[in-house]
Structure 1
Amino acid sequence: LIYVGHFMSSWGDRMWYFAIPLFLMDLDPNSLFLTAAYGLTLSASVLLFAPLVGDWIDRTERLRALVISLVIQNMSVITSATILLLNREFGDNEADYAIAIKISALLLGAIAILASTATQIILQKDWIVVIAAKRTDFLTGLNAMMRRIDLFTKILSPLACGQIMAVATLTGGAIFILCWNTASMFAEYFLLKSVYNRTPALAVKGQSEEDVIEMEELGNGLEDQDEITEKNNHKKEKPVKKKKSVFQKMFGFILVIKDGWKLYMDQVIALAGLGMAFLYLTVLGFGYVTTSYAYNQCFSEFLVGITLASAGFTGIVGTFIFPILSSRFGLVKAGLYSGIFQVLTLIPCIASVFVSGSPFYLLPANQISTNHTIVPTTPLAPTSAFNRTHSLGYSTLPYTSENPSFVEFPPPESFLSMWLLVGGLVAARAGLWSFDLTITQLYQENVVESERGIVNGVQTSLNMLMDLLMYIAVLFLSKPDEFGILVLASSAAVTTGYIFYGVFTFR
């Protein structure tokens, strides 16, 4: 039941994340400013308020917290989709009220992402720990299956939503998302309410910080995990938190955030979490930055789609590798070996900066033509020199000519650089998701029950801080021939993250 509920929630989230940039571009088709503002708003919201969300989860009864999060998350999406749909059908993007629609989209997006973060913490960081009832192997299986569902929906949900929009336009897509989230909200509630009723332990929530999770004898190479748990058991007892009034919470949120960060750093596994955060300080993924770079280097939509699907497949493979590594070498060393594998996949990524076809401006071959000849285009005068072709799955038109601010570049002399980069990124997903599962289970097994919410909230906030720093770096190094610097810096950041984890492992 919890798998079905998580599938429905994840599918809806993935559809909305795919659709919202299209709706925003429909609002402001001549600029990427609104889309960038939306992403920045979401990242800043999680960075600032995730610790508060986690603290609220710790202080709220489990089922009540879940219901509130589900309702807010789905109603935010439903309201936002309704506003954008009505504006598309009956509104005018040039009218004075258009700014209010744009602001509402940003605010509702921020509310939705915070509610989604709360739902993820509740289900993936707390509920499944209680359901596993200290059965480590069972918990490993639960974590792996939840991650497989995430990756499965990440591959198929955008494809399904895109197909609906291709047939029924954005209007049909918005109506489908509205119907899905409305039905999903009620279905998820009844499914997870059944899980709650069938698991009496969920009704009992730890009230004190001394209620540390005791691990059973793990054996089979898990001695390192026992040592971590033993350290947690010998942590100095802290006084029970006093309940704060609503007034104190409203005006004392800064102290809550500060105390949350201090509590996070006091955790035995904080160094491992810090290592995980560094993996967000990278362009070596399949986000907007790398996808845009691939288009710039004349990868067609078809090749980008194949690449994303391949990355999703290797990520799913990683979720099957993780239980095997964990049972054979122990949880901590499973993360170490996953990290070593991902670091090895950085080699082709780094090589891609220096081989034939790389636009990196420091290469001698590119010194002659550092000043690219830009061929401007307009909707009325497309350039005949660079016609789109898909004979080999490549495109010589990385950006649409419907926006005159975008420019076209001739295809590179070789695609060796791109294939090395893509190959490294696809292979890395197996190690990344296996490592992610390691961190998830370390937090589940070593964070006191009464502190799970705020500690995981701080971890999410730290991840988002690194993500913001990455986007800031991209703002300063936004040219395609500077992407090589971002690749090298990202490789250094990923390696640093695993160095932190290595220190944690052997400490």
Structure 2
Amino acid sequence: MIDDVDDKRPRLLLYTAQLLAEFSSWLWAFSTVVWLSELAGPSSLYLNSSYAATQELATLLFVPWLMRSALNRKNFTASVLLAQIPCIFAASLVFAYNLGRLPGDASVPGDASEGEEDAADSDASKTSKLSLAALYLSGGIASVLQQAYLISIQRDWTVVIAKNEDKNLETINVTMKQIHLACIITVPTLAGFAAEHGGGVLPIGILKMACLVLQTGCIVKAHSILLSSDAGLMEREESGEEVPDEPDEPGEHFDNGERESSSGSSCKVIEDLHIYRKQDMMWAGVAFALLYTNVLCFGGMMTAYLNRCGLGWDTIGIWQGLSNFSGLMGTFCFVLLQRFTSVESSLLIGLLFQFSCISIAIIGVLLARNPLMTATLMIVGVIPSRIGLWVADLATIQLFQRTVDEDLRGRVGGVQTSISSSMEFLPLALGMVFSEVADYWKVMLIGYMHVGLAVVVCGAGVWLPYRNRKLLGQVIRSESTNDDTEEAAMELT
């Protein structure tokens, strides 16, 4: 009975840390979109696009490097959490300073000479540029640290707590995603209400930093419980070594010689890509990464765009909550699908459903001429598409969790995040080029085409090989049964 309680405690602490992480992250992310939109003015998406692009570029370049860290689970995870605090503090000060200057932009004429006004404007412009540079820098660092934390939790901590059992993995993955979706159902509505009624920057920043401290406490406590219940894990953590899972067949992922030669490689990036390419579910990761080019979701760009179409922040927050409630239904659909089909088939079904739904949104954007009608069709298409997205998300995570060796989880997860960030960087870069609302359809169309490509990649690279393996297994079992039948008949005769 005591062992059962000990087994549940790390899981409950993991759920608590996930709740704190999701609540604070979405509150901060939605508030950041609002603040940047206020700074940019009513006619441009440039600040939102460039800020998000900076975060994705930093993730693309530095997450794989960070995931090669030699720190153990507890030290690494606690470090990337606590290191976010100064970044959030700096960003809060920058937002508070720049937003505080907005009401004073309309100065009273005649209070100063033209030369003094020009000098003041020049100084203010320099200060504003420096503060925005500090904001982009702190945002990029915080994004890298947060992605490293998510990789550590999803790719390693979850597998350790689940004891690498498929049923436990499914339960924990679904619960974590349900916590994620429950937070983004409620938090954007609260953040939108706060933005409409003058919610402050510093209180939100303080709340985010407090959540980071509490997350760290949960992770440290869960780690101590895991060590006390697993002597082998304690020995590996204390020695700083990671022991890989035994492969099903010799050389299934790497043979020893290949690992030794790759470890001496001078180019770590090529080595990481080589490791990733050897994974059984590489094409599942590539297909899912292609989805990151899709901006038909309630992210920063679409949120700002809907506001330009005439929707208020509180209204957008409600629609975003409904969209994420649809995603919550996707987690239940994933569990239901597992009763009837494989994880590989669930991935393809999820992608096909998402592509079908966003086809409604893209038709509305390309054909509708009224901004309100365009926004309506976008919302009608995007909300149900989240069911397919989250089915595909859960399927991809579980495929990697059950096929990647323990000593490669961080590196494979780092490469996967880097590939996803490179895909997400594309629409953000295009958003800076086509920053006017009239050109938004170009970015949407490119993302839509990539979702269609993801369906093709998944079908050809994941589902067809799985189907062939299944058919081959059926043929082998059938031949084996026939041979046994013939042998039994010969014995009888």
So what's the TM-score if we normalise by structure 1? 0.74
Q: Which amino acid aligns with 1:285?
A: C
Alpha-carbon offset, residue 32 of structure 1: 5.6
Task: Pick from 113, 118, 121 the counterpart of residue 151 of structure 2.
Answer: 121
- Number of the residue aligned with 2:3: none
Task: Show the 5 A alignment for 1:58-457.
Answer: 59-85=70-96, 94=124, 96-167=126-197, 169-170=198-199, 172-178=200-206, 180-200=207-227, 201=230, 203=234, 204=236, 211-212=244-245, 233=252, 235-237=254-256, 238-240=258-260, 255-301=267-313, 303-353=315-365, 355=367, 358-359=368-369, 411=370, 415=373, 418-457=375-414
Q: Quick check: which has more Rg, 1 or 2?
A: 2
Shift of 1:102: 2.2
Q: Which structure shows the bigger proportion of residues in helix conformation?
A: 2
**Partners of 1:343 and 1:189 in 2: how far apart?**
38
Q: How far did residue 160 of structure 1 move?
A: 2.7
Q: Which residue type is aligned with residue 428 of structure 1?
A: S
Cα-to-partner distance string for 1:217-242 (whole Å, 9 max, x where unaligned): xxxxxxxxxxxx76973643433489
Q: 1:184 to 1:63 in 2, by over 3 A?
A: same
Partner of 1:369: none
Identify the match of residue 29 of structure 2 among 17, 20, 23.
17
Q: Percent identity?
A: 24
1:470 has 2:409 as partner: no
Q: Specify the alignment match of 1:43 in structure 2.
A: 56
CA contact (8 A) 2:276 2:282 kept: yes
- Cα RMSD, aligned residues only: 3.3
Distance in 2, matches of 1:21 and 1:419, equals 21
Shift of 1:264: 1.3
Task: Map 1:473-492 onto structure 2 (within 5 A).
Answer: 473-475=430-432, 477=434, 480=437, 482-492=439-449
Conserved in 1, the CA contact under 8 Å of 2:52 and 2:428? no
- Note if contact 1:209-1:240 (Cα within 8 Å) is conserved in structure 2: no
Structure 2 CA distance for aligned equivalents of residues 439 and 265 of structure 1: 16
Q: Is the 8 A contact 1:151 1:316 kept in 2?
A: yes
Contact 2:360 2:377 survives alignment (8 Å): yes
The answer to whether the Cα contact below 8 Å between 2:334 and 2:346 also exists between their aligned partners in 1 is yes
Distance 1:488 1:86 in 2: 37
The separation in 1 between residues aligned to 2:345 and 2:172, in whole angstroms, is 19
Contact 2:59 2:143 survives alignment (8 Å): yes
Greater alpha carbon shift after TM alignment, 231-240 vs 185-194 = 231-240
Residues 232 and 446, structure 1, Cα contact 8 Å, conserved in 2: no
**Contact 1:317–1:430 (Cα < 8 Å) also in 2:** yes
For residues 141-190 of structure 1, give each alpha carbon's deviation from its aligned partner in whole angstroms, at most 9, with x where no partner exists: 111111111222223223334444555x35x3412431x23432332222
Change over 3 Å in CA distance of 1:339–1:197 after alignment to 2: same
- Deviation, 1:41, is 1.4
- 5+ residue gaps, structure 1: 215-228, 360-410
Cα shift at 1:496:
0.9
Per-residue deviation, 1:354: 5.7
Residue 239 of structure 1 aligns to a residue in which SS? helix
**Residues of 2 paired with 1:115 and 1:53: CA distance?**
9
CA apart distance, 1:207: 8.0
The SS at the match of 1:233 is: coil
In the TM superposition, residue 438 of structure 1 has moved relative to its aligned partner by: 0.8
Paired AA for residue 212 in structure 1: D
Residue by residue over 1:236-280, the C-alpha shift from the partner in whole angstroms, topping out at 9 and shown as x without a partner, is: 343348989xxx9xxx7xx22222122212211111111111111
The answer (yes or no) to whether the contact 1:210–1:448 under 8 Å persists in 2 is no
Contact 1:231-1:268 within 8 A present in 2 as well:
no
Tell me, in whole angstroms, the C-alpha distance in 2 between the residues paired with 1:213 and 1:325: 29
> How many residue pairs are counted as aligned between the two chains?
425
Farther-moved stretch of structure 1 (314-323 vs 22-31):
22-31
Paired residue type of 1:103: A
The two structures have a TM-score, normalised by structure 2, of: 0.76
Q: CA separation in 1, counterparts of 2:273 and 2:262?
A: 18
